[in-house]
Amino acid sequence: MIVKSIRVKSALSKSGLKELNYSLNPYLGCVFSCPYCYAPNFTPDREASENWGKVVAVKENLLEVLEREVKIYKRGVVGISTITDAYQPIEALRKLTRESLKILLKNGFRVSIQTKSPLILRDIDLLLEYKDRVDVGFTVTSLNNKLELNAPPAKGRLRALEKLSNEGLETWIFLGPIIQGVNDAEIENIIREISNIKVRVIFDSFHYYRGLKFKEGSTQWWVNLRNRILENCKRYGMECHEESEDWIYEKRRYYKTF
């Protein structure tokens, strides 16, 4: 992996995504390099986007820029990890995510974190200190990592999720993308696996972006699977809902601005 340093003019980006006012990505590029990921299309660093999984750009002046912005920006919800995983391995060394969280939370912002890494447990002290303004979500697409060979094991993510939930943090799990004929047969097993965790479930099918090898599933396939997912959630008494079409539209519209 190549790690390089870049300087940025801004830390917070205005978000058009539902439930988020801003986004913050401490790094560009992601070594997890999941084959369904849309982020290469929207990563402004060309070297990282064209060599996805092999190049990570570290925003070396991120913290000083963020310190300025939190003093002048209206407080709101900041999404952490919208085009990268903020807890990929480089974070263990550079700690930009942890230090960014400190700045945001001390200045009254709320944060919503999405990750695939149990490394987030390193920051549990900080998350608990401000737990009324924090929510944490883990992405899981299967229990055997067949779609995410370079990411931390799914069962390790679920253990981390359970620990955060037991500590009283607001937690959620993103089951997706669900790809017809690839991981759709596993989703009900995942729901069963997490049924003892107090967690909100969000699920969604795969949506095509340029360069991805998978295809979007048929409408009837999704209707049938969606109904089965909701039936399983009801059986286990879990809060469960589909990522809305409005959210998908806003995501695509927002990332076109990069």
Q: For residues 108 and 151, what is the distance between their CA atoms, to the nearest angstrom?
A: 32
Q: In this model, does residue 246 exceed pLDDT 80? A: no
- The tokens describing 23, both together, are 């986004």
CA distances from 59 to 27, 40, 93 (A): 6, 17, 13
pLDDT digits over 202-212, tens only?
Answer: 999 999 999 99
pLDDT digits over 136-191, tens only?
Answer: 999 999 999 999 999 999 999 999 999 999 999 999 999 999 999 999 999 999 99
Q: What is the CA radius of gyration of the chain?
A: 18
Using an 8 Å Cβ cutoff, are 188 and 230 in contact?
no
pLDDT digits over 46-99, tens only?
Answer: 999 999 999 999 999 999 999 999 999 999 999 999 999 999 999 999 999 999
Q: For residues 79 and 222, what is the distance between their CA atoms, to the nearest angstrom?
A: 28
Q: For residues 175 and 233, what is the distance between their CA atoms, to the nearest angstrom?
A: 12
Burial profile 75-92: b = 16 or more Cβ within 10 angstroms, e = fewer: eebbbbbbbbbbbbbbbe
Strands 134-140 and 240-242: unpaired
Domain positions in the chain: 2-255
Report the predicted TM-score, pTM, of the whole model to 2 decimal places.
0.92
Write out the CATH class of domain 2-255: alpha beta
Strands 55-59 and 134-140: unpaired
pLDDT digits over 16-36, tens only?
Answer: 777 899 999 999 999 999 999
Q: For residues 71 and 215, what is the distance between their CA atoms, to the nearest angstrom?
A: 44
pLDDT at 133: 97
pLDDT at 158: 97
- The tokens describing 154, both together, are 């799914």
pLDDT at 250: 46
For 9, other C-beta atoms within 10 Å of its C-beta total 6
Longest Cα–Cα distance in the chain = 50
pLDDT at 66: 98
Helices assigned H by DSSP within the chain: 46-50, 62-72, 90-94, 96-106, 124-129, 154-166, 187-193, 219-236, 245-255
pLDDT at 244: 65
Using an 8 Å Cβ cutoff, are 176 and 38 in contact?
no
pLDDT digits over 205-242, tens only?
Answer: 999 999 999 999 999 999 999 999 999 999 999 999 99
